[in-house]
Amino acid sequence: MTQQELIKTLETVEHPAISYSLIKLGIVSHVELNENKVNVVFAFPFPNIPIADVLINSIAQPIYDMGLEFEHSIRIMTDEEKNRFLQLEAEAWKG
């Protein structure tokens, strides 16, 4: 498994309410593969996102399915990242 293969797999994971991947939306802001362990940094537009666990699990599951370990951390988006996220959300909202 290479970093590129991992990213390609994770790029298929869409947000449940927005027709874009978590990577395109910037919610998954960093992915690092180190031997058998994947460290993912999630960037959320606001603190206390109600579906944070759903989003984290939607990324964790394919990682576990590949037989890899999963670690993650969470940060809040910068204003620039948040503005881009809100623009993409408006374009692709499924609601």
Which pLDDT does position 65 carry in this prediction? 97
Work out how many domains the chain is built from and give that number. 1
Residue 37 CB contacts under 8 Å (≥ 6 apart), including other chains: 68, 69, 70, 71
Q: How confident is the model at residue 95 (pLDDT cuts 50, 70, 90)?
A: confident
Q: pLDDT tens digits for 26-68?
A: 999 999 999 999 999 999 999 999 999 999 999 999 999 999 9
Which pLDDT does position 44 carry in this prediction? 98
Give residue 58's domain range.
3-92
Please answer whether residues 16 and 24 qualify as being in contact, where contact means their C-beta atoms are separated by less than 8 angstroms.
Answer: no
Please answer whether residues 43 and 26 qualify as being in contact, where contact means their C-beta atoms are separated by less than 8 angstroms.
Answer: yes
Mean pLDDT estimate for the chain: 97
Q: What is the CATH number of the domain that holds 88?
A: 3.30.300.130
Which H or E run contains 39? Answer: strand 37-44
pTM: 0.95
